[in-house]
A and B are shown apart, each in its own frame.
Chain A
Amino acid sequence: MVKKEAWGSRVGLILAMAGNAVGLGNFLRFPVQAVNNGGGAFIIPYLVCFLLMGIPLLWIEWSMGRFGGRSNNHSTPFILDTMTKRSFWKYFGVFGIFTNIAVAAYYCYIESWTMSYVWHSLAGTFDGLSQAEVAAFFTSYVDIGSSHTGIPYEAVVFYVLCLLLNTWILSRGLAGVEKAAKIGMPLLILFGVFLAVRGLTLGTSGASAEVPTASAWDGLNFLWTPQFDSLSNPKVWLAAAGQIFFTLSVGMGTIHCYAAYVRSKDDIALNAVSAGFMNEFVEVVLGSLIVIPIAAGYLGLDWVKENAGFGMAFQTMPFLFEKWGPILSVVAGVMWFGLLFFAGITSSLAMGTPWMGFMRDEFNWGRIKGAWSFGAIVLLLGLPTVIFFQEGVFDEFDYWAGTVALVVFALAETVLFAWVFGMNKGWKELMSGSDLKVPLIYKFIIKYVTPLLLLLVFLGALFTPMDNDWVGALNSLFSGGGWALDNSSIIKTIANTGLHEQLAAATDPAEITRLTDRLFYTNMARGILVLTFAGLSTLVYVAAVRRMRSTKRHAA
Chain B
Amino acid sequence: MNSSALTLMAITQLTVIAITGYFFYRVLTTKPKPEPDSYTEDDAT
* A and B held together in a complex: yes
Question: Could you say which of A87-95, A273-281, A303-311, A398-406 contacts chain B?
Answer: A273-281
In the complex formed, the residue of A with least CB distance to B19 is A277
Contact B6 A263 (CB under 8 A): no
Query: With A and B bound together, what is the CA distance between A113 and B8 in angstroms?
Result: 35
Partner of B5, one of A11, A40, A281, A284: A40
Contact B5 A224 (CB under 8 A): yes
Question: Could you say which of A264-272, A521-529, A543-551 contacts chain B?
Answer: A264-272
Query: With A and B bound together, what is the CA distance between A75 and B4 in angstroms?
Result: 47
Contact A43 B12 (CB under 8 A): yes
Q: Tell me whether A264 and B12 are in contact in the complex, defined as CB-CB below 8 angstroms, given that A226-B4, A274-B24 are known contacts.
A: no
Residues in A whose Cβ lies below 8 Å from that of B32:
10
The answer, yes or no, to whether A220 is at the interface (CB within 8 Å) is yes
Contact B33 A433 (CB under 8 A): yes
Contact B33 A225 (CB under 8 A): no
Residues in A whose Cβ lies below 8 Å from that of B4:
40, 225-226
Q: Tell me whether A220 and B5 are in contact in the complex, defined as CB-CB below 8 angstroms, given that A264-B44, A273-B23 are known contacts.
A: yes
Partner of B27, one of A265, A270, A280: A270
Contact B43 A266 (CB under 8 A): no
Residues in B whose Cβ lies below 8 Å from that of A225:
2, 4-5, 8
* Per-position 1/0 for B22-33, Cβ under 8 A of A: 011011101011
Query: With A and B bound together, what is the CA distance between A43 and B15 in angstroms?
Result: 12
The answer, yes or no, to whether A214 is at the interface (CB within 8 Å) is no
The answer, yes or no, to whether A14 is at the interface (CB within 8 Å) is yes
Residues in A whose Cβ lies below 8 Å from that of B33:
265-266, 433
Closest Cβ–Cβ distance, residue B18 to chain A (whole Å): 10
* Per-position 1/0 for A430-445, Cβ under 8 A of B: 0001011000000000
Name the interface residues of A125-176: CB closer than 8 Å to any CB of B: none
Contact B8 A265 (CB under 8 A): no
Q: Tell me whether A284 and B42 are in contact in the complex, defined as CB-CB below 8 angstroms, given that A217-B1, A225-B5, A274-B24 are known contacts.
A: no
The answer, yes or no, to whether B38 is at the interface (CB within 8 Å) is no
The answer, yes or no, to whether A455 is at the interface (CB within 8 Å) is no
Closest Cβ–Cβ distance, residue A243 to chain B (whole Å): 14
The answer, yes or no, to whether A182 is at the interface (CB within 8 Å) is no
Closest Cβ–Cβ distance, residue B11 to chain A (whole Å): 9
In the complex formed, the residue of A with least CB distance to B6 is A224
Query: With A and B bound together, what is the CA distance between A270 and B44 in angstroms?
Result: 22
Query: With A and B bound together, what is the CA distance between A43 and B39 in angstroms?
Result: 45
Q: Tell me whether A281 and B42 are in contact in the complex, defined as CB-CB below 8 angstroms, given that A221-B2, A265-B33 are known contacts.
A: no
* Per-position 1/0 for A54-91, Cβ under 8 A of B: 00000000000000001110000000000000000000
Partner of A284, one of B1, B12, B27: B12
Interface residues of A, dominant DSSP: helix
Contact B28 A11 (CB under 8 A): yes
Contact A265 B36 (CB under 8 A): yes
Contact A224 B8 (CB under 8 A): yes
* Per-position 1/0 for A202-237, Cβ under 8 A of B: 000000000000000100110111100000000000
Contact A270 B16 (CB under 8 A): no
Contact B24 A221 (CB under 8 A): no
Contact B43 A285 (CB under 8 A): no
Q: Tell me whether A281 and B20 are in contact in the complex, defined as CB-CB below 8 angstroms, given that A10-B27, A265-B33, A270-B30 are known contacts.
A: yes
Q: Tell me whether A267 and B45 are in contact in the complex, defined as CB-CB below 8 angstroms, given that A220-B1, A280-B16, A281-B16 are known contacts.
A: no
Contact B26 A270 (CB under 8 A): yes
In the complex formed, the residue of B with least CB distance to A43 is B12
Query: With A and B bound together, what is the CA distance between A460 and B26 in angstroms?
Result: 38
In the complex formed, the residue of A with least CB distance to B13 is A285
Query: With A and B bound together, what is the CA distance between A120 and B13 in angstroms?
Result: 33
Name the interface residues of A24-65: CB closer than 8 Å to any CB of B: 39-40, 43, 47
Partner of A40, one of B9, B20, B23: B9
Q: Tell me whether A265 and B13 are in contact in the complex, defined as CB-CB below 8 angstroms, given that A225-B4, A270-B27, A280-B20 are known contacts.
A: no
Contact A277 B16 (CB under 8 A): yes
Partner of A221, one of B5, B23, B30: B5
Contact B20 A277 (CB under 8 A): yes
Closest Cβ–Cβ distance, residue A6 to chain B (whole Å): 9
Query: With A and B bound together, what is the CA distance between A64 and B30 in angstroms?
Result: 23
Closest Cβ–Cβ distance, residue B30 to chain A (whole Å): 5
Query: With A and B bound together, what is the CA distance between A40 and B5 in angstroms?
Result: 7
Contact B5 A70 (CB under 8 A): no
Pairs of residues from A and B, 7 with the lowest C-beta to C-beta distance, nearest first: A224-B5, A274-B23, A277-B20, A225-B5, A224-B9, A281-B20, A40-B8
What residues of chain A have their CB less than 8 Å away from a CB belonging to chain B? 4, 10-11, 14, 39-40, 43, 47, 70-72, 217, 220-221, 223-226, 263-267, 270-271, 273-274, 277-278, 280-281, 284-285, 288, 433, 435-436
What 12 new A-B contacts, CB under 8 Å, besides A265-B36, A266-B33, A433-B33?
A11-B27, A217-B1, A223-B9, A263-B42, A264-B44, A265-B33, A273-B23, A281-B16, A285-B13, A285-B16, A285-B17, A435-B27
8 contacts between A and B (CB under 8 A): A10-B32, A40-B8, A220-B5, A224-B6, A225-B5, A225-B8, A280-B16, A433-B33
